[in-house]
Amino acid sequence: MEISRILEQLVPLAKHFDASVLEYLDVIAAHTTPLSFKAGERFPKEGHEDNQAAYVAEGVFRVYAVDKTGKENTIRLPAEGDFTMFLEDYKELSPNIDYRWEAVTDGLLFTWGKADLDYLSKQVPNWNFLTLKIMQTLILRLYNERGEMFNDDATTRYLKFAERFPQTIARVPLRHIANYLGIAPQSLSRIRQQLAKFPI
């Protein structure tokens, strides 16, 4: 992939989080690795650890946890314009749970490995501050979204999800949305049918 295409994606991102890195975007882009995925592809592969940071350039992905019984629980559904957390950071929050990724649609991630992150932290002023702001934003949003679910009923959970992620709903299987919201798929179908008949 041409660096110019990577730069097109990174410019609005830099402006949003820290415009001071704009003059270093060519350096950042040169240390960015694009990874393409087909819908249904899961990663990292069994036995491989993933210590990369990533930005969703195209598509919708699913971050999910697998408990000791093999049950999957959807943690996030990042889409275009969304940064991901390190999988290792998830594991620090819950060390006994295995965290994985799945491409819900065909997708493209811009990734940075540990060596790239170390290099950029030395070459780009404010790089560490930038990554800290991104991580804080992600963690705060994750905790806020998950925290609200304990207080909201199923219908309210779905309505808030639909309001926050209107472009995601049509692209993600309902079973994943139901799993993320902690609702049985059949219950979510009933909620959607009721809302279609009697919109709020």
- The pLDDT value given to residue 171: 95
- The pLDDT value given to residue 45: 63
Higher per-residue confidence, 188 vs 139: 188
What percent of the chain has a predicted confidence (pLDDT) above 70? 88
Q: Residue range 60-79: average pLDDT?
A: 88
Looking at the predicted structure, is the pLDDT value of residue 90 above 60? no
Looking at the predicted structure, is the pLDDT value of residue 146 above 80? no
Please state, in angstroms and as integers, the Cα–Cα distance from residue 111 to each residue in 53, 67, 124, 139, following that order: 6, 26, 17, 19
- The pLDDT value given to residue 177: 95
pLDDT digit string (tens) for 151-161? 899 999 999 99
| Of 87, 110, 138, 129, the residue nearest 28 (C-alpha) | 110
Strand order in the sheet with 53-58: 33-37, 107-112, 53-58
Buried b (16+ CB within 10 A) or exposed e, 77-115: bbbeebbbbbbeebeeeeeeebbbbbbbbebbbbebeee
Structure tokens at 139: 């963690």
pLDDT band for position 60 (cuts 50, 70, 90): very high
Q: For all residues of the chain together, what is the average pLDDT?
A: 84
The CA-to-CA distance between both ends of the chain, in Å, stands at: 45
CATH architecture of 3-139: Sandwich (2.60)
Helix (H) or strand (E) holding 3: helix 3-17
Q: What is the dihedral of CA 80, 83, 89, 90, to 10 degrees?
A: -30
pLDDT band for position 94 (cuts 50, 70, 90): low
The listed range with the strongest mean pLDDT (75-84, 105-114, 171-180) is: 171-180
Looking at the predicted structure, is the pLDDT value of residue 93 above 70? no
- The pLDDT value given to residue 143: 78
Q: Residue range 57-83: average pLDDT?
A: 88
